[in-house]
Structure 1
Amino acid sequence: MLRARFGLPVEMYADRPLLTVGAAVEALALPESLGDRVRLRLSWLPSTPVVADPRDRFWTFLVAPPLPYHPVPQRLRTFLQENGVTMPDRGSHIMLPTSDHEPGWHWANEPEPGRLGLPHRAVVLAAIRLAILQRSDRVSA
C-alpha cells in the first residue's frame, strides 16, 4: 500500500513506515529554522514533501536524485555541513509519518495526494544555499 501511494521504496518496521534513501529518492536534513525558510522559497513547486521529527528540531526534504547520477561536490557538502545540513547516505532509512498530526513524525509540508512528486535535488540545494547566504545573522565576507 505505501509503495503504491508513494511509488518509492517504503517498508514497514515495527509498524512504522521507513523510506530507504537510494536511486529513487534522496534526503536533505536541515534544522527546523532553516527548513522553514527553504520551504517558503520552494512554495512555487507543486509538491515538496518534508518530514519533521517528533520535536520539530529537524526537517527532512525528500528529493529526486539527478539523472545521470552525480554526487554533491565536496565543497558544497562541507558548506552545508557547516550550516547543520546533512545528506543521509544511500541505504539510510527515513521515518515517514503515520498520521497527519503531531506528536510523532509528521509532515512539515505534506505531499500532494497520489503518486509522490519530488523536487530535483539541485533545486532544493539552491534554495538551501540561498537561505543560508541570506540569513540575517550571517556576516558577508
Structure 2
Amino acid sequence: MKIFNVLILLLIFGCNTAEKNIAKKTEVIDMSSGYPIWKMKKNGIDFKFALNTKNDTVKVWTTDKEFITPEGYKIGSEFKDIENIVKSELYEESGNGFFIKLNSGWELSFCEGKTCTDNEPSKNSKVKWIRRK
C-alpha cells in the first residue's frame, strides 16, 4: 500500500522514467498531522510528505527554493508581491502558520513569530514552505 501512495505522489508531480524516485521514511513526526514524515526527490526538488495509518497521503510540502508553483511563487516570495485577490484567501491554522491557497491547489505558508501565528504576515514576510493537502 505504501508503494501505491508513492506512485500516486509521482503521478501528482509527473513521471520521468529516467529519474529514480525513492521515498525514505524519517524518524520525525509531522506535528500538524501526527504521522511520520517521508522524503522524496522529484525533478531535483526535495519534497516531504506524511502518510496516515491507512497509507493515504495526508499532505506534501517543500522548502526547496527551486520549486515554483504554477502561479510563479516560490520559497522566499514576499507577501507584498502576492496578488491582492490571492491575499484575500489568507487563513490561520493556530500554532501552525498562515496559509494562502492557490488555484493550483498548492498553499503558500508563512510562519510569524515563535508560534508561527503571533501576528499576520507583514509586507516583508516571506514564504517559508509550500504545501498541498
Normalising TM by the smaller chain, what interval? under 0.3
User: Which protein has the bigger helix share?
Assistant: 1
Task: Kindly indicate whether structure 1 or structure 2 has the higher relative contact order, using CA contacts under 8 Å at least 6 residues apart.
Answer: 1
**How high is the TM-score relative to the length of structure 2?**
0.26
TM-score by length of 1: 0.25
Which is richer in strand? Answer: 2
